[in-house]
Amino acid sequence: MDSAALFAPVREPSAEARGQFAHFAVAAPAGQNGLGQLSEPGAWLAACQEVHPPRPITRPRVLIFAGDHGVNAQGVDTRPEDTSRQLAEQITSGQAPLNSLAAGAGAGVRLVDVSLAHEAWGPERVAEGSGRIDIEDGLSREQLEKALEVGSRVADEEVDSGAELLIPGSLGMAAETVAAAVAGALTRTEPVVMVGAGYGISEAMWKQRVGVIRDAMFRVHSDISQPLEVMRKISSPDIVALAAFCAQAAVRRTPVLIDGPVPALAALLADRLAPGARAWFYAAQDSGNPVETVALRDLGLSPLLDLDFDFGPGSAALLALPLLQTAGQLAREAAGTQPEPN
C-alpha cells in the first residue's frame, strides 16, 4: 500500500496572510509590546484560513478516538476495558470535565470508537469488529486499511459539516505505550528515552516497559521509511485512525490543534503519510511526556501553553483555543472589520 495514493497533496497555508498578520502583530502603539507570544499562533491561523484578519472560529470540534491496546502503561498485559468504557461513557453523556471545557470554548465533542468492544456507541462505532490489538500482534492489512478509512472519513465528515478547527484526542488503555514504540522507531530515539524516568512505577515495571518498547521498535527497524508498514506491525486501530484523520484534515486545509502524546504521534505519522501536513498543525502544550516532546521536536512545533494541564484528552487545546480567538479578534479590531453575521 502506497501512502501517496491514500492522500491528495497537501497545499501550504497562505504565506501572504501570514505575512500580513505578522506585520500587524509588530505594529503595536508606542509603549506596547503587541501580541507577544500570540503573534505566531495568530499568524498560523490567518495562514490556514488564507485571509487577514482571520475570521472567528465559530465551529471548533473535539474528536476523541477511543481504543484498547491490551497492555497497561508499564507494558503489562491487562485485559479490563472498564476504565476506557467509563471515560467514554462520561464523554458521550456530557459528564466529563472535557465537556465543560468544550462548552466554555464553544466546541462540540464527538467520540469515535475505533476498537472498544462495546455495543452502546451506535453509529459512532465506526470500526466495529476490529477488536482489541496487542502491541505484540500488530494489525492485519485489512485492519490497517479500515482504520485509515475511518480516520479519513471522520475528517471529511467534520470538514463537510462546517468544522473550522479540529482538536484530536485519544482515549484507550496503554495508548501511550504503543505510541512510545512508534515514535521511538520513527525518530530513532532510544527506548529508555521514550519511557522516561518512570515516575510512579517500580524499577521492575520500568524495565518491563522498556523491554516491550525495545522489542516493538526492533521489529520495524528496517521499515522506518515506510510509515504504513510501521503502523501495521506495531500500532493500533485508533492510532492509525488518528493519523489518517490529521493527514486528511491537512489535505482539506483545516487547522488542527495538537494536544497530548498520542495526538502528537498521530501528527508525526500524518506528516509522513501526507508530506507537508505539519504546516496545518499547532501544538497546544508539551506535557513533558517523551512521546509528545519527541514528536513535537521532530515536527518543529512550539507549544502555545506551558501549564502542565490535563483534564482529559484535548483539554489543554481547549484552553489554548480562546487565545487563538483573541489574536484574531484583536487583528479584526485593528483592521476595523467586524465578523460576518452567521
Flag whether 303 is in a domain.
Answer: yes
Flag whether 193 is in a domain.
Answer: yes
* pLDDT in single tens digits along all 342 residues of the chain: 666 678 999 999 999 999 999 888 877 665 455 788 899 999 999 999 999 999 999 999 999 998 754 443 333 334 334 566 788 888 989 989 899 999 999 999 999 988 654 333 333 333 333 334 456 667 889 999 999 999 999 999 999 999 999 999 998 766 888 899 999 999 999 999 998 886 667 888 889 889 999 999 999 999 999 999 999 999 889 999 999 999 999 999 999 999 999 999 999 999 999 999 999 999 999 999 999 999 999 999 999 998 888 888 899 999 999 999 999 999 998 887 555 544
Residue 53, preceding bond cis, omega within 30 degrees? yes
- Judge if 115 and 219 occupy the same domain: yes
Distant-in-sequence contacts of 303-306, Cβ < 8 A, 24+ apart: 304/37, 304/41
Q: What pLDDT is attached to residue 339?
A: 52
- The residue assigned the cell 519511557 is 195
What pTM was computed for the model? 0.88
Q: What pLDDT is attached to residue 189?
A: 96
Distance, CA of 181 to CA of 321 (rounded, Å): 30
Flag whether 272 is in a domain.
Answer: yes
- Judge if 180 and 282 occupy the same domain: yes
Structural contact between residues 175 and 66, judged by C-beta atoms closer than 8 angstroms: no
Q: What pLDDT is attached to residue 85?
A: 74
Flag whether 140 is in a domain.
Answer: yes
Flag whether 225 is in a domain.
Answer: yes
- Judge if 196 and 133 occupy the same domain: yes
Q: What pLDDT is attached to residue 33?
A: 57
Structural contact between residues 316 and 259, judged by C-beta atoms closer than 8 angstroms: yes
* Parent domain of 194: 59-319
- Judge if 82 and 208 occupy the same domain: yes
Flag whether 236 is in a domain.
Answer: yes
- The residue assigned the cell 488503555 is 173
- Judge if 46 and 65 occupy the same domain: no
- Judge if 188 and 286 occupy the same domain: yes
- Judge if 25 and 90 occupy the same domain: no
- Judge if 43 and 79 occupy the same domain: no
Distance, CA of 76 to CA of 72 (rounded, Å): 5
- Give the cell for residue 260: 497530548
- Judge if 178 and 313 occupy the same domain: yes
Flag whether 341 is in a domain.
Answer: no
- Give the cell for residue 98: 472535557
- Judge if 133 and 24 occupy the same domain: no
The residue type of 71 is V
Flag whether 170 is in a domain.
Answer: yes
**Kind and range of the H or E run holding 324:** helix 315-335
- Judge if 103 and 44 occupy the same domain: no
CATH number of the domain that 209 lies in? 3.40.50.10210
- Judge if 185 and 274 occupy the same domain: yes
Query: Sign (positive/negative) of CA torsion 107, 332, 250, 152?
Result: positive
Domain count, the chain: 2
